[in-house]
Structure 1
Amino acid sequence: MRIRDIIEGKKEWRAHVARVKALPQDYQIVYKEIQKYLFKVGPVELTEGTDLLSGIVDLFEEGAALGKGVLEVTGNDVAAFCDDLIKDSKTYADIYQESVDQKVYEAIKKMTDETK
């Protein structure tokens, strides 16, 4: 990654953070919880840019402009809202699970081959 790419990435992130700070307080609180949740759950594409997070801010800006409360936008179960956003996304947990499954499969195959 070039220095210019890093600088551009930081500029984009700062602009994103400024958009979040411009949201009403309730939206900011829920956004921060969503962000924590997504960073913990770990959809792979989250590290490849802020498209998902920017989409959430777009949705929140629209909801705020319409005078809706944040839970009218997300629903009362914010974790379920997040899960629905990433339901078709590969997560780091998925990658880890595949790795474990592959190691177990290889170990069992090796053990089976040795007993023949």
Structure 2
Amino acid sequence: MRIQDIIQGKKEWRAHVARVKALPQDYQIVYKEIQKYLFKVGPVELTDGMGLLSGIVDFFEEGAALGKGVLEVTGSDVAAFCDELIKDSKTYADIYQQSVDQKVNKAIRKGTDNTI
């Protein structure tokens, strides 16, 4: 990764944070909780640019412009809202689960081969 790429990434992140700070307080609180949730759950494409997070800010800006409260936009179950956003996304948990499954299957095959 070039230094210019790093600098550009920082500029984009700062602009993103400025957009979040421009949202009404209730939207900022929910956005931060969504961000924490997504960082914990770990959708793989979350690290590929800021598409998902920027999309959430876009959505929140539209809701705020219409005068809606944040829970009118997301629904009362914010975790379910997040899950719906990433339902078709591969997560780091999925990758880890596949790795564990492969290791278990390999160990089982190896154990089976020893008994024959």
TM-score using structure 1 length: 0.99
Residues 4-19 of structure 1 correspond to what in structure 2 (within 5 A)? 4-19=4-19
Q: Which residue of 2 aligns with 1:21?
A: 21
Moved over 4 A (4+): none
Q: Which residue is equivalent to 1:64?
A: 64
How many angstroms apart in 2 are the aligned matches of 1:75 and 1:20?
19
Q: Which 5+ residue runs of structure 1 have no aligned equivalent?
A: none
Partners of 1:34 and 1:7 in 2: how far apart? 26
Distance in 1 of aligned mates of 2:65 and 2:48: 29
Shift of 1:114: 1.1
Give unmatched runs, 5+ long, in structure 2: none
CA distance in 2, matches of 1:115, 1:4: 58
Q: Distance in 2 between matches of 1:105 and 1:11?
A: 45
SS of residue in 2 equivalent to 1:9: helix
Distance 2:48 2:3 in 1: 17
TM-score (norm 2): 0.99
Letter in 2 for 1:62: E
Q: CA deviation at 1:48?
A: 1.2
Aligned pair count? Answer: 116
Q: Distance in 2 between matches of 1:49 and 1:39?
A: 14
Q: Percent identity?
A: 87
